[in-house]
Amino acid sequence: MWFIHNPERLKTEVTDIEALRASAPWLVIATPRMMPGLQFAVDFDMVVNGDALPFTLTYPAFFPETPPSVLPRDGRHYSNHQWGQGGEFCLEYRTDNWDPAVTGAMMIESAYRLLSGEQPALDRRAVVPSAHQTTLGQQLRSASCRAFLTRGLRDYVATLESGCGYPCHIVETLGPRRTWTAYVASIGPLATPVWQEDTIPPGDSQGSPGLLVRLPSLDSVVVSELDQLDRIVASAAIGGEAPANDTATSRFTVLADATTAQFYFSFFHEATWKLLHYRTIDISTETGTRLPESYAAMAGKRVGIVGCGSLGSKIAASLARSGVRQFVLIDDDILKPGNLARNELGAESLGAHKADALEERLRAVAPNVTVEVWRVDLGGQESSGSTATVLDALAECRLLIDATADPQAFNFVASVALRARSPMIWAEVYAGGIGGFVARLRPGIEPPPHAARRQYLAWCRSQGVPWHGQGDDYDAHRDDGPPLIADDADVAVIAAHTSRMAIDVLVRSDTSIFPHPAYVIGLAADWVFDEPFDTRPIDFFAEGEWPLPVSGEQAGAALEYLVSLLDRADDAD
């Protein structure tokens, strides 16, 4: 406890408070005592306008590094600068401006200045200016029902005619600790909306119909009873298809003007209608995106990811958060409890195919995401038709990422990259969590994928350090082998490096911030690594050629030949 480590400070605290009691006529009692848990405190009474008001000054265990608290002993609410009924006073000395030199006596004086300032006389009340600024999180601690006002909604409502109601669609999510958060997902008929929210990921929430009423101003609008809300709705001219709520047992209503909005949820419970008012969270004034402007180009580029395990799932989520909006995901495996140690997915996806669950995850972390899912074991025992269809889907991608650490899957992805002249990235996490590898291959700049892989394996063998990890030639086994031993942090580091290199390819095309096409990244002092974060670049040399795009003359000759075969077939028929 603080008074054991600093007995001189304890003596000073007691002496200063006793001196204050002797000199200040308004401090009539100041009695030190020990509270449960060996917490030192001082009970004191202050006289304000003839009334003796009881309080307790409580010292925390980490005093004087943190401030003591002043609370009423009778549990009453005395001040507008008080944390709720019977709560702590917000005084001049607080956690945000605390100085260890401030004493308990100074805290008591501050409490007296506050109360006497708010009630300078029995028949007078005054406002003591507040220097305390609460954060949004502090304001919402007691609000379990919340609603977002976005910039898009605010701007669109400003164009609507006042005094009218418009059908809308409300999406609501249930968060931790039974917190409900709603927002307007669209305005107009659900099938043909005239406006849609494009900044909030829909996730898997279905939403419900609602009514938005445009008012001239919400400055004087106060709704505490359902009858008040019903009168406002009844006076509005409803345009379009109004939500049918004659038999509904619940409904959303949004009152909005050109600058703000109020959200209400009414529901039928225990033979009566009840009303909930949602606390509006205004995010309409948030300035700009948290991403560089150049990242906007990624929204129109499709990325194919082969392998939705721990590495691939993290890469996909990172790219979605960074601006990629079109994905092709390929993986046939399901999520098992053991996968939760490293995968981006959570327990809600157990038993599902990883690719399907990752699709939902991407829709939950970024808006306007489109995902093409193939539950296919690329390189495994699949039909030729299934494999061919998957390769066709990959050929439409602007970037291919192999996150399988499987040589056969690599061969298929590499073949597509060659045929479609698409950039390719492949990454692996080394066994034992000692590090990993990431490489970037661009058509005409780096060597073709198969040649680059040969050079990478040759580089590994040339280091003169025996490989002690799992797998031959630094490749991890397939799923029928023992699991790869590496923790979530190991995988996350390699996934982050892979995502950075993928973003570099998508945003900068032929230029790059990475001077080398490949890197081995150490996370432990093992194999070639001297210490954690020991990174070794690899430079590839020219070997082989990426095939040139097919010329119009070549394509025409091929088509002419195929047409001749069709003509022969017609003649035979």
Q: What is the pLDDT of residues 328-369, one digit of tens each?
A: 999 999 999 999 999 999 999 999 999 999 999 999 999 999
Q: Once rounded to an integer, what is the mean pLDDT over residues 542-552? A: 80
With a CB cutoff of 8 Å and minimum separation 6, the contacts of 521 are 435, 436, 437, 438, 493, 494, 497, 533, 535
CB atoms within 10 A of CB 142: 8
Compute the distance between CA of residue 334 and CA of residue 356 in angstroms, rounded to an integer: 9
Query: Residue 543 is inside which H or E element, if any?
Result: none
List beta partners, residue 45: 29, 54
* Alpha-carbon gap, residue 335 to 43, rounded angstroms: 59
pLDDT recorded at residue 565 = 66
Characterize 393-409 residue by residue with b for buried, 16 or more Cβ atoms within 10 angstroms of its Cβ, and e for exposed.
bbbebbbbbbbbbbbeb
Stretch 261-278: mean pLDDT: 93
Closest CA to 486 of 342, 290, 279, 331: 342
Better-scored residue on pLDDT, 509 or 310: 310
What fold, for 2-132? Ubiquitin Conjugating Enzyme (3.10.110)
Q: What is the mean pLDDT of the chain?
A: 90
The yes-or-no verdict on residue 23 having pLDDT over 80 is yes
Q: Which of 76-85, 165-174, 211-220, 357-366 has the lowest mean pLDDT?
A: 76-85
Q: State the Cα–Cα distance between residues 327 and 349, nearest whole angstrom.
A: 19
Cβ within 8 Å of residue 492, ≥6 positions away: 314
pLDDT at 80 over 80: yes
pLDDT at 502 over 90: yes
- 95 and 66 in contact (C-beta within 8 Å)? yes
In this prediction, residue 474 carries a pLDDT of: 43
Outline which parts of the chain fall under CATH 3.40.50.720: 301-538
Q: What is the CATH number of domain 301-538?
A: 3.40.50.720
Give yes or no for a contact between 315 and 495, defined as CB atoms under 8 angstroms apart.
yes
Query: Which pLDDT does position 352 carry in this prediction?
Result: 97
| Percent of the chain residues past pLDDT 70, beyond the cut | 90
- Tokens encoding 271: 């033979």
pLDDT at 222 (0 to 100): 87
Which pLDDT belongs to residue 246? 60
DSSP 462-513: HT-----SSSGGGPPP-TTSPPP---HHHHHHHHHHHHHHHHHHHHHTT--S
Per-residue confidence (pLDDT) for residue 96, from 0 to 100: 86
* pLDDT digits 0-9 by tens, 383-400: 888 899 999 999 999 999
With 90 as the cut, is the pLDDT of residue 530 above it?
Answer: yes
Buried b (16+ CB within 10 A) or exposed e, 72-100: beeeeebbebbeeeeebbbbbeeeeeeee
pLDDT(134) > 70: yes
Q: Is the pLDDT of residue 561 over 70?
A: no
Range in 241-250, 426-435, 495-504 the model is least confident about: 241-250
Q: Which residue has the tokens 């480590």?
A: 5
What integer pLDDT is reported at residue 485 of this predicted model? Answer: 78
- CA distances in angstroms from 184 to 92, 350, 475, 486, 572, listed in the order given: 41, 31, 49, 43, 63
The closest of 518, 512, 513 to 536, measured between CA atoms, is 518
Q: 524-555: buried (b, 16+ CB within 10 Å) or exposed (e) per residue?
A: bebbbbeeeebebebebeeeeebeeeeeeeee
Q: What are 58's strand-pairing partners?
A: 41, 69
Phi-psi region of 312 (alpha: psi -120 to 50; beta: other; left: phi over 0): alpha
The DSSP code sequence of 359-385 is HHHHHHHSTT-EEEEE---TTSS--HH
In order of 164, 327, 436, the CA distances from 316 in angstroms are 43, 8, 18
Average pLDDT of span 85-113: 93
Whether the bond between 243 and the residue before it is cis, its omega within 30 degrees of 0, is no
Pairing of strands 164-175, 237-238: parallel
Task: Report d(CA 235, CA 213) in Å as an integer.
Answer: 10
Residue 2 parent element (H or E): helix 2-5
User: Bigger pLDDT: 353 or 481?
Assistant: 353
Task: Please give the residue that has the higher pLDDT: either 468 or 143.
Answer: 143
For the cut 50, the answer to whether the pLDDT of residue 470 exceeds it is no
Secondary-structure class of domain 142-282 per CATH: alpha beta
Give the pLDDT mean for 502-523: 94
Q: Is 364 exposed, middle or buried (0-12, 13-18, 19+ CB in 10 A)?
A: middle
Q: Are strands 39-48 and 237-238 parallel, antiparallel or unpaired?
A: unpaired
Q: According to the model, what pLDDT value does residue 301 have?
A: 97
Cα(first)–Cα(last) distance of the chain, in Å? Answer: 99
Q: Give the model's pLDDT for residue 454.
A: 96
Helix (H, G, I), strand (E, B) or coil at 70: strand
Burial of 488 (0-12, 13-18, 19+ CB in 10 A): middle
**Residues linked to residue 373 through DSSP beta bridges, in sequence order:** 329
For residue 409, pLDDT beyond 50: yes
> By mean pLDDT, which of 124-138, 216-230, 428-442, 553-567 is the weakest?
553-567
If one compares 568 and 77, the residue with the highest pLDDT of the two is: 77
The pLDDT score that the predictor gives to residue 136 is: 82
pLDDT band for 473, please (50, 70, 90 cuts).
very low
Sheet of strand 535-538: strand arrangement: 370-374, 326-330, 302-306, 399-402, 424-429, 435-441, 518-522, 535-538
Q: Which residue has the tokens 């063998």?
A: 461
For residue 83, the model assigns a pLDDT of 84
Q: What secondary structure letter does DSSP report for 84?
A: S
Q: State residue 557 phi and psi, 5-degree precision.
A: -65, -40
Give the residue range(s) of CATH 3.40.140 domains in the chain.
142-282
Residue 477: band (very low, low, confident or very high) from pLDDT cuts 50, 70, 90: very low
